[in-house]
Amino acid sequence: MINLNNPETAFALDAVRRAALLVKHIQAEMVTSALTKDDRSPVTVADFAAQALVGHLLEEKFPGVSLVGEESSAVLQIPEERDTLLTITRFLGEIFPQATPEKVCAWIDRGAGEAEDRYWTVDPIDGTKGFLRGAQYAVALALVVDGQPQIGVLGCPNLTGGYRENVEGEGSLLIAATGEGSWLTALEGGPQNEFTRVKVSPQDDPAQARLLRSFESGHTNTGQVDRFNQAMGGEAPPVRMDSQAKYAVLASGQGEIYLRLLSPGREDYREKVWDQAAGSLIVEAAGGRVTDLAGNPLDFSVGRRLLKNRGVCATNGHLHEAALQALRTVKAV
């Protein structure tokens, strides 16, 4: 069982639960049918608000520990974004009555920390287009010690049971800690909810591997993904989903392979630590395996990006070597 008496574990669960519920509240209020295609204000508000919430809670609980976050308040402090900052402050004020624009900016900038020997990393909203579509997105938080995630939490408001898409459901909260396995509980309800252990799929037939694929073609090399699936002899239909929610589905045994390939023209791209830390630990603690495209372990010790790694290959473990061989075959490495 996950040790809920560990102060860092308890903090991570509480912070992600509260941040995910805040984001869901903002989505319900701001994402409407009247929203224009180019209007990203709801996701901007939710993104900054979630990071501010986590930054504030971390400052209260562990004030000396670094937080590596995606956002900076600098863009909110220009006159043209004053209304956005006031909207963020309004939502946070419903939770923290002491919130002011100045305090909110300071809470956001708590995420300007460096990847030290011990640090937290947060992705306040992973899957912004999924958020705007009313589909899948995730709030991710991880504690990294000596370059390896030790605690990881994913909050997925539109997943039920860790894998079922359900925008009206109770949501999913997945947590893993090194040596304690991966666990699932409902996002709605609170700390009294029961936890269920999750484990990866036992599937070992490459042809039956369900490939977790993004809706967004810009996030990967779609042609290489298709050739990879052919090299695996893939017969199973893919599972299409936004965000680190794919890690939740993989850990829950409802998919076998998730890839982050290098997009055409972006071969020098390196993954950001907040995009991978929480989800990779949750998959590994559920019995899976996560490496880069060459089979090397992910190294979270070298800054805000995984500078020593190219791409990501996450599997249920049983199919990992077959996946790496297929990646070599299609020259994705």
Residue 122 burial (CB count, 10 A): 31
- Catalytic, 128? Answer yes
Tokens of 213: 């694929």
Q: Which of 9, 44, 47, 87 is catalytic?
A: 47
d(CA 115, CA 61) in angstroms, rounded, equals 19
Q: Which of 128, 160, 291, 315 is catalytic?
A: 128
- Catalytic, 87? Answer no
What SS3 string covers the chain? CCCCCCHHHHHHHHHHHHHHHHHHHHHHHHCCCCCCCCCCHHHHHHHHHHHHHHHHHHHHHCCCCEEEECCCHHHHHCHHHHHHHHHHHHHHHCCCCCCCHHHHHHHHHHHECCCCCEEEEEEEEECHHHHHHCCCCEEEEEEEECCEEEEEEEEECCEECCCEECCCCCCEEEEEECCCEEEEEECCCCCCCCCEEECCCCCCCHHHCCEEECCCHHHCCHHHHHHHHHHCCCCCCCEECCCCHHHHHHHCCCCCEEEECCCCCCCCCCCEHHHHHHHHHHHHHCCCEEECCCCCCCCCCCCCECCCCCCEEEECCCCHHHHHHHHHHCCCC
Q: Which positions are catalytic? A: 47, 128
